[in-house]
Chains A and B, each alone.
Chain A
Amino acid sequence: MYDFEYHKPKSVADAVAALKKASDGKFMAGGMTLIPTLKQRLAQPSDVIDLGAIGDLRGIKVDGNTVTIGAMTKHAEVAASAEVAKAIPALAKLAANIGDGQVRNRGTIGGSVANSDPAADYPAAVLALGATITTNERKIAADDFFKGLFETALKEGEIITSISFPTATKAAYMKFPNPASRYAMVGVFVAQTASGPRVAVTGAGACAFRVKEMEDALAKNWSPDAVAGVKVPADGLNGDIHGSPEYRAHLVTVMAKRAVAAAG
């Protein structure tokens, strides 16, 4: 790890100001991704701005048909929340299966979504439920948020403050974990939303993406069989020692089928 200046502001405004002043600043949430990156000397920020003391960024609120989760809310808090479990059980379950206990006690929803790791779990939920990402500057629809490998619509110095999930009548997430890292090799989130079925895939591509064909099939007939015949093209999917693009493409269909079955 290289030396850096450490800041722990008490408000979003102070955090943004600290970042603007830094020559190459970086926000830190749970640090579960950032710290290993620093330790391996893969990044050399001049300043690290810890968002951990900003109380406004934390907490879970359910308001009618919307669940709003503060950016600094930890995976363990989402997993243990009775309110989330009641409103969107699939979301609580997803959080409960991220990493291990230590990671869930540090990692945050804002950090996960801001990072847009291709193998992260939350992006599938954000996209499938049609969530809204609220920042210090604006509101961003899920469909406009994930742009590519570790790439989002966030601008330099923009902080995610919360994420709002509309509830769904049916929803489920099926994760096929990478055997080694246990991140998602393929994860499929399906939801029956107010605007119809949505299917989002994580792990398989550069970032989370929707599968229109499955959504159309589910609109006609909400059943595992409806998606069983839909194959996503392997072209452009991720390939590594754990899974070829073809294998991942196949798993998308299998996990989608199982997610629909689990959603009931």
Chain B
Amino acid sequence: MAKIGDRIKRTEDRRFLTGAGRYVDDLQLARCTHAYFLRSPHAHARIKSIDVAAAKAAPGVVEIFTGKDVADSKVGSLICGWVVKDKHGQPHKAPAHPAIALDTVRYVGDTVAMVIAETYAQAKDAAEQIAVDYEVLPASIDPVKTLDAGASQVHADVPGNLCYDWELGEKAKVDAAFATAAHVTKLDLVNNRLIPNAMEPRAAAAEYDRGTGNYTLYTTSQNPHVARLVLSAFVLGIPEHKLRVVAPDVGGGFGSKIFIYADETLVVWAAGKIQRAIKWTAERGESFMTDAHGRDHVTHAELAMDKDGKFLAFKVDTIANLGAYLSTFATAVPTYLYATLLAGQYTTPLIYCNVRAAFTNTAPVDAYRGAGRPEATYLVESIVSKAASEMKIDAAELRRRNFIAPDAFPYQTPVALTYDSGNYAPILDQAMQLADYAGAAGRKATAKASGKLRGVGICSYIEACGIAPSAVVGSLGAGVGLWESAELRFNPTGNLQILTGSHSHGQSHETTFAQIVSDKLGIPMDQIEVVHGDTSQVPFGMGTYGSRSLPVGGSAIMKAADKIIAKGKTIAAHLMEASEADIVFEDGTFKVAGTDKAVPLGQAVFAAYVPHNYPSDKLEPGMDENAFYDPSNFTYPSGTQICEVEIDPDTGVVDIVNFVAVDDFGNIVNPMIVEGQVHGGIAQGVGQALLENAVYDKESGQLLSGSYMDYCMPRADNLPSFKLGYQVTPCPHNPLGVKGCGEAGAIAAPAAVMNAVRDALAQVGAQDRIEMPATPRAVWEAIHAQ
């Protein structure tokens, strides 16, 4: 029997590693056509005319749709599902987002026409014959300049390109605290724009059944039920019960596959129109252009301290780039998922944050691994390290002085959240020990002797995951609840299916979920099948993002398992002619305490399906229980990362020589899987800090980093072997005591790396001249700038 805490190899790996996974593009639908989307080559232009006549006559073409066809058939605007109210209580600006541009294109990659043909090549050939007459307009690309008076307008109905001007905290009190400060540290920083780069590009395949009027959409979704809800209730009007959404094996998402995009929407809509199946898989170049990007903040922050370095108040002013249209959860990311994390691990009593969200002629920006929390962590942990160096206090010591004490939980922060649990100092201690923090000065001196600059950086992060208590997010503007569903469906022979509303696209749910049920019910792993991703198989569920699957989805599974045990107990009591009160459930068996009478769970299951001798007066037959779990709070994983770098000042190359991460994820179900999540997260965080950058030409709005020739993904040789450690304070409010581990690496690593880079550059006075990504060029220029 698997136990919680065992390092069990991933059961899904055999399938994935032998090429037996089944992704959307692998599906063979009968009489399938293929779609190609003609995309805007301009960042901003008026479409004067589109002539599709020649293209329609091209070989193999089945149909071509333009923005007019979509509008004529009353397809709704793509929606943003989170209403953020501005400073004055007004809802954010929500400009229309047609699935195909009607008369204006607003970013390079905006959809202009959908070409459907017998083969993909024919669709692509035909698209070249579509004549679009554009009037090119000036583009607003820079998130700061787009808010300037006179900037080119992205949407006519959004004056000044301002989506909202939002605030959290009490400004007057914060200002008053600043007036009493012994020292104020100021920081300007840019959180660079990232492109998610899931290994599998987005894809959609849809069919329409003329006989029943049912639609099926196979798509790369992290949340197929949410996709169905949005498509049904808001965009296409296909009733939910007539639309099945299936997300089969999905090769990575990192947030980018949460959202409901134009392409997938059009594929299902058009399948109904042409009454034939349609398939579309993004080319890598389209992924670069049209997957929702991540981050992209410009921030000024100030931290007020007393003479001992105690934080008195924190003030933040951020401009967040939302791109040309609002993606599905775009508004929430730089507000409720960002400003609420600005207390970090510290007792800072007063915090004020102002966020202005801006439209630009760039791809939409939305949640990307960490979503808001990496932005908050990078800011807090950068300014804390800067403050330490200004105050001449050791960076670890300054953190320690300001940590929330272990006996202060639950801890109410000034930015809305109530931290449930944590114990930060032992994490920092362990990280310092693993990193040999004490020996850093010696290593710096040795490096200096050979002309290298060494630096050490700390990041002590907090995050809120296990998203989320429905009533809380509802009060903040979310359009959905964020509970999760589960069903445990036994078969008469004693094996079972776990049906979950979570979705695995790399997170190893098939192993972890089976493991917790194996532990709880005493059933071997190979008797358990995890089913997810099909709206016609699993109960309505909210999907996977925000490190929620185990804390929320796993909790729902535990609740359903409790119902199985309760029902089994009644059956066992009946079979053993014992009182229910005397029965205990241990190692998969119901026993009468103090006797040798026992009924294995399998026998109770069999009795439930073949109820010849059964407590029919008390129970229905069958062993199939479902549960919905709505968390009572977020979970709050925390940890400390310490990064050590060595910089070659001749070339600007930053070499990570040591990387330590100590995390408190609460209880750990499968340490191997957790390590994998941490490794991947750190790799992405290092990518943001040193390598990755989505760059648009500031004038033309062309994506300059539109392929792997120019967009630098982290590779194995960019990374050292990580040293990991754990501290455990179980989550007090979910049945597994788990907190979530999917995003922590990516949340913390940028600050750890950049604090190390700045520490190294401080030796040549260049610490304030570097932004992410600290590429060789950027580092060299920082060193050599006068």
Contacts and interface: CB of A to CB of B under 8 A. Distances in A.
Contacts of A250: 780
B780 A241 contact: no
B709 A181 contact: yes
A259 to B, nearest CB: 13
B651 interface: yes
A240 B708 CA distance: 14
B709 A180 contact: yes
B121 A241 contact: no
Interface in A30-58: 40-41
B485 interface: no
A80 interface: no
Given A247-B780, A247-B781, A251-B651, A181 B121 contact: no
Contacts of B781: 244, 247
A241 B651 contact: no
Interface of chain A, helix or strand or loop or mixed?
A: loop
Nearest to B650: A254
Given A176-B651, A241-B695, A181 B780 contact: no
The size class of the interface chain A forms with chain B is: 10 to 19
A177 B478 CA distance: 46
Given A1-B121, A180-B708, A242 B775 contact: yes
Interface in A206-264: 240-244, 247, 250-251, 254
Contacts of A242: 710, 775, 777
B345 to A, nearest CB: 33
Contacts of B125: 2
A40 B691 CA distance: 25
Nearest to B651: A254
A64 interface: no
A52 B536 CA distance: 52
Contacts of A176: 651, 776
B60 to A, nearest CB: 13
Contacts of B50: none
B274 interface: no
Contact of B777 (A40, A243, A254): A243
Interface in B725-783: 775-777, 780-781
Nearest to B710: A180
Given A241-B695, A251-B651, A254-B650, A181 B775 contact: no
B712 interface: yes
B134 interface: no
Contacts of B704: 241
A254 B653 CA distance: 12
A69 to B, nearest CB: 27
Contacts of B710: 180-181, 240-242
A244 B777 contact: yes
Nearest to A253: B650
B709 A247 contact: no
A241 B693 contact: yes
A41 B713 CA distance: 25
B711 interface: yes
A86 B775 CA distance: 36
A242 B781 CA distance: 12
The size class of the interface chain B forms with chain A is: 20 to 34
A242 B776 CA distance: 8
A179 B691 contact: yes
Contact of A179 (B121, B712, B780): B712
B497 interface: no
Interface of chain B, helix or strand or loop or mixed?
A: loop
A250 B777 CA distance: 11
A246 to B, nearest CB: 9
B193 to A, nearest CB: 13
B718 to A, nearest CB: 9
A250 B125 CA distance: 46
Contacts of B693: 241
B150 to A, nearest CB: 28
Interface in B703-728: 704-705, 708-713
Nearest to A255: B651
Nearest to B125: A2
Given A241-B693, A254-B651, A179 B776 contact: yes
A137 B781 CA distance: 48
Nearest to A176: B651
B121 A180 contact: no
A2 B124 CA distance: 10
A180 B711 contact: yes
Nearest to B704: A241
A11 B554 CA distance: 66
A247 B776 CA distance: 9
A149 to B, nearest CB: 16
Contacts of B712: 179-180
Interface in A66-106: none
Contacts of B713: 180
Contacts of A244: 777, 781
A182 to B, nearest CB: 9
Interface in A162-216: 176, 179-181
Contacts of A41: 124
A246 B711 CA distance: 21
B707 to A, nearest CB: 9
Interface string B577-611: 00000000000000000000000000000000000
A247 B708 contact: no
A249 to B, nearest CB: 12
A40 B705 CA distance: 16
A181 B708 contact: yes
A158 to B, nearest CB: 28
Given A241-B693, A241-B695, A241-B705, A179 B651 contact: no
A240 to B, nearest CB: 8
Contacts of A181: 708-710
A90 B285 CA distance: 36
B369 to A, nearest CB: 20
A254 B709 CA distance: 24
Contacts of A247: 652, 777, 780-781
Contacts of B695: 241
A225 B710 CA distance: 34
Contacts of B705: 180, 241
B119 to A, nearest CB: 12
A251 B693 CA distance: 22
Contacts of A254: 650-651
B719 to A, nearest CB: 14
Nearest to B128: A41
A1 B125 CA distance: 9
B506 to A, nearest CB: 23
Contact of B775 (A1, A179, A251): A179
B706 to A, nearest CB: 11
A250 B649 CA distance: 12
Contacts of B691: 179-180
Which of A179, A241, A243, A247 gathers most chain B CB within 10 Å?
Answer: A179
Interface in B666-722: 691, 693, 695, 704-705, 708-713
Nearest to A186: B651
Nearest to B711: A180
Which of A176, A180, A240, A250 gathers most chain B CB within 10 Å?
Answer: A180
Contacts of B285: 40
B782 to A, nearest CB: 12
B448 to A, nearest CB: 19
Interface string B456-469: 00000000000000
Contacts of B776: 176, 179, 243
A2 B695 CA distance: 30
Interface of A: 1-2, 40-41, 176, 179-181, 240-244, 247, 250-251, 254
18 contacts: A1-B121, A179-B691, A179-B775, A180-B691, A180-B705, A180-B709, A180-B710, A180-B711, A181-B710, A241-B705, A241-B710, A242-B710, A242-B777, A243-B777, A247-B652, A247-B780, A247-B781, A250-B780
Given A181-B709, A247-B652, A251-B651, 5 more contacts: A2-B125, A240-B710, A241-B693, A241-B695, A247-B781
**Those 4 A-B pairs whose CB atoms lie nearest each other, nearest first:** A180-B712, A181-B709, A179-B712, A254-B650
